[in-house]
Amino acid sequence: MVSIGAATPQAESEDADEPKPVVVYCIIGLGNPGLRYEHTPHNIGFRVIDELARRHGIAVKAREGAAITGGGNFGGRKVMLVKPQTFMNDTGRAVTSLMQVYGLGRRDLIIVHDELDLPWTGLKIREKGSAAGHNGVRSVIAAVGTMMFTRVRVGIHPDHDLDDPAVYVLAPWERAMRDEVDEVAGYAADAVESIVAEGANKAMTKFNRRARGTREEEE
């Protein structure tokens, strides 16, 4: 297992010539830091990172810039799991900082985030696309300078209309959805593992789904 830990400024100056670990994929779950937001739909990306960390025995606790990270292996492929510690609309700052440190390109990124345009328990993998109103994805696009990166969009729209979507995504999970959160996070984690093992195109054919048909996706 590879350990990708945080480097202090002193360590960076002393080990300037030491190469950084090779990272095949940087898997970034979007969310807001702090206990207040832990059990909310907007933080489903963090839940997926937690599930991947549990499965692969990765400790996501090293502080690197504006994120906490943990490095390990998925089937022999070196990965880094990331939880940005900025708020959602500043996620791009945490992402680009890690890209610069580890020499990552857009093809090395997998962004996992909540998606109101998909129904609850739905999921869609995409290799490009607009932010579709998601502030975290918008921030990443602006910082990276392209829409061409892989994202795993986890549907969070409940089976009823929303009076205020902005309030909904930051409120605790509705009672009817709480028992399914772990299952949904597990399915999304399966999809991420498939991307790492087989590539996004093959993963799409296996995992893209619209559950319950309650809402059409906006392309």
pLDDT value for 20: 65
The DSSP call for residue 59 is: -
For 191-218, the pLDDT digits (tens) are: 999 999 999 999 999 999 765 443 344 3
CA dist., res. 53 & res. 111, Å (int): 15
Using DSSP's 3-state secondary structure scheme, residue 12 falls into: helix
Architecture label for domain 25-207: 3-Layer(aba) Sandwich (3.40)
Q: Where are the domains of the chain?
A: 25-207
Buried-state track 81-102, b at ≥16 Cβ within 10 A, e below 16: bbbbbbebeebbbbbbbbbeeb
DSSP-assigned states of every residue in 155-173:
EEE-SS--S-HHHHHTSPP
Whether the Cβ atoms of residue 61 and residue 68 lie closer than 8 Å to each other: yes
Among the listed residues 42, 113, 134, 157, the single catalytic one is 42
List all residues 6 or more positions away from 21 whose beta carbon is below 8 Å from its beta carbon: 2, 4, 71, 78, 102
pLDDT value for 175: 94
Query: Which residue type sits at 68?
Result: I
CA dist., res. 174 & res. 168, Å (int): 9
pLDDT value for 23: 85
pLDDT value for 214: 38
Known catalytic residue: 42?
A: yes
Which parts of the chain have pLDDT scores under 70? 1-21, 210-219
